[in-house]
Amino acid sequence: MLIRGRRYFAVLGFLLLATPLVWGMVLPDSPDLIHKEGRRLAPPPAAPADFAGWSKLPGEVDAYLKDRFGLRHAMINLHKDLTHPVLLKVNTAALIGRDGRMFYEGNEMVRQSAGLVLRDQRVAEAVDMIASMRDALARRGIRFLVAIPPNSSTVYQDDLPIWAQARGRKTEYDLFLQDLAARGVKTVDLRPAMNTIRAEGDEAYLLYDAHWTARGALAGFNAVVEADGHPDWRIDPATALGPPEERKGGDVARILGVQDDVTEKVETLALPPPGKDEAFSQDVMPDHVITTGKPGPTVMVIGDSFTASYFPLMLSQHVGRAIWVHHHQCGFDWKLIDRFRPDEVWWAPTERFLVCDPGVRPLDFAG
C-alpha cells in the first residue's frame, strides 16, 4: 500500500513538473510580458561548434527555458497574491523603497548600484571590447562615444534601505568609466545630470517603473550632445515637454502584480514628428531608422529601452538620419555599421547591462 502511494505521488510530481513545459509549448506567454519587465527574451541556444560552445550550452538552454515556461506570468502574480499579506516590501524581482518607489532587482541592479556586485573581470572584458570597437570605427572615420543611463537605484539611493546604499563603495559604473578613461575612450557620466533634476525638485525616473522620465531622458540627451561637441543640438525642456498626464502602473508594478493599483503624473515628450521612421528588425523593440530629409550627419545609437523611443526622436530634430539598434548584451550585428555608414556611434546600454553576457561580442566583428 505504501509503495502504491509513492507511485501516486511520483505521478503527481511528474505532472506538476511537466505542466509548465507543455503549457509553454502549446500556449506560451506573449513576448510583450518580458519586454514590459525592461529586458529581452533570451535567444534560442545556438548549435555548439566547439568545446566552448558546448560549455555554454547548459546556461543558454536554462535562460531560454526560464523565459518561456508555461504560466510564468500567472505564477508571478500568484506568488504576489500569496506573499503580499506577509511580505509587503519585497518581491523576488522587485523592491519597494521609501515613499513607495519601486526598484527592479533583476540583472543584479540594486546590488550593482550599491557596490555589492563588482565584477571587475567582466567590466574589463567589456572595456576591451568597447575599446576595440572604438578603434575599428576610427579606421572608418566614425566618431564614438559611451553614455550609460544609470539605474534608478543609482540615482535614488536614499529611497533604498541602508543595505542597498553604496555609502562610498566603488561601483561597476565607477570602475567602467575609470577603465574607459584609461583607454582613452570618450565617455559621459550621466549621473550628475540625473542628480541635477532631483535637486531641482523634478522626477528623473518613474515611481513604478525602472525607466527614466521624459525629463530624465532629455537631460541625458543634452548631457551627451554637450560632451559630444554638439551644444546646438540641446533641446529645451520648456518647449519639448508637454503637460503632465496620468500614467497607470509601470514595469516594476507589473512584476509585483499591482499595475492597476498605482498611478502617477508624468510629463510627455512633445517634439515634432521625426520624418520617415522605418523598422528593420522583427523584435518587440525593433531596430529602426529615422530619415528626416534634412542635411546633417547620421548618428547610430546602440542601446535599449531607455533610449529606443527617446534618443532617435531627439536626434531627428537636428540630423539627417537617426538610427537605433539594440545592444543584445554586446551581441548586436556589426554589419549594420557598414550598412548604414554612420558618422557617429553612441554606445548607450543601461547600467544594469554595462557588462556583456559571457563570451558575447558583436556578430561578425573582427576587431
Q: Supply the range of the domain harboring residue 177.
A: 89-353
Q: Which of 18, 40, 72 is the last residue of a domain?
A: 72
Residue 37: the pLDDT is 44
Asked if residue 363 belongs to a domain, the reply is: no
Q: Please check whether residues 189 and 234 belong to one and the same domain.
A: yes
Asked if residue 17 belongs to a domain, the reply is: yes
Model confidence at 236: pLDDT above 70: yes
Mean pLDDT, range 197-212, rounded to an integer: 96
Band of residue 39 on the pLDDT scale cut at 50, 70, 90: very low
Residue 325: the pLDDT is 98
- Residue 90 per-residue DSSP state: E
Q: Please check whether residues 179 and 227 belong to one and the same domain.
A: yes
Q: How far is the C-alpha of 154 from the C-alpha of 170, rounded, in Å?
A: 12
Q: How far is the C-alpha of 230 from the C-alpha of 211, rounded, in Å?
A: 25
Q: Please check whether residues 58 and 154 belong to one and the same domain.
A: no
Q: Which of 72, 101, 116 is the last residue of a domain?
A: 72
Band of residue 87 on the pLDDT scale cut at 50, 70, 90: very low
Asked if residue 55 belongs to a domain, the reply is: yes
Q: Please check whether residues 40 and 181 belong to one and the same domain.
A: no
Q: Please check whether residues 139 and 223 belong to one and the same domain.
A: yes
Asked if residue 80 belongs to a domain, the reply is: no
Q: Please check whether residues 149 and 249 belong to one and the same domain.
A: yes
Q: Please check whether residues 319 and 195 belong to one and the same domain.
A: yes
Q: Please check whether residues 125 and 33 belong to one and the same domain.
A: no
Instruction: Count how many domains the chain has.
Output: 2
Q: How far is the C-alpha of 157 from the C-alpha of 163, rounded, in Å?
A: 10
Grid cell digits, residue 137: 570605427
Rounded to two decimals, what is the model's pTM? 0.76
Which residues make beta-bridge pairs with 326? 303
Asked if residue 266 belongs to a domain, the reply is: yes
Q: How far is the C-alpha of 343 from the C-alpha of 300, rounded, in Å?
A: 8
Q: Please check whether residues 61 and 96 belong to one and the same domain.
A: no
Model confidence at 38: pLDDT above 50: no
Band of residue 44 on the pLDDT scale cut at 50, 70, 90: confident
Model confidence at 90: pLDDT above 80: no
Residue 13: the pLDDT is 63
Residue 47: the pLDDT is 82
Q: Please check whether residues 30 and 104 belong to one and the same domain.
A: no
Q: Which of 37, 72, 107 is the last residue of a domain?
A: 72
Q: How many CA atoms lie within 13 A of 9 on its CB side?
A: 6
- Tens-digit pLDDT profile for residues 108-150: 999 999 999 999 999 999 999 999 999 999 999 999 999 999 9
Asked if residue 82 belongs to a domain, the reply is: no
Q: What is the mean pLDDT of the chain?
A: 87
The angle that helices 2-26 and 72-83 make with each other, rounded to 10 degrees, is 120
Q: How far is the C-alpha of 140 from the C-alpha of 117, rounded, in Å?
A: 36
Quick check: 241 and 270 in contact, CB under 8 A?
yes
Alpha helix locations (H) across the chain?
2-26, 31-35, 51-66, 72-83, 109-113, 120-139, 152-155, 172-182, 191-199, 214-227, 237-240, 251-256, 311-315, 335-340
Q: How far is the C-alpha of 91 from the C-alpha of 164, rounded, in Å?
A: 15
CB atoms within 10 A of CB 310: 24
Q: Please check whether residues 250 and 316 belong to one and the same domain.
A: yes
Model confidence at 77: pLDDT above 90: no
Could you tell me whether strands 288-291 and 276-279 are parallel, antiparallel, or unpaired per DSSP bridges? antiparallel
Asked if residue 293 belongs to a domain, the reply is: yes
Model confidence at 307: pLDDT above 90: yes
Query: Pick from 98, 81, 82, 109: which is nearest to 261 by CA?
Result: 81
Model confidence at 28: pLDDT above 80: no
- Tens-digit pLDDT profile for residues 324-355: 999 999 999 999 999 999 999 999 999 999 99
**Among the ranges given (75-84, 308-317, 348-357), the one the predictor scored with the smallest mean pLDDT:** 75-84
Top pLDDT among 197 and 7 is at 197
Q: Please check whether residues 311 and 245 belong to one and the same domain.
A: yes
- SS3 for 115? coil
Asked if residue 367 belongs to a domain, the reply is: no
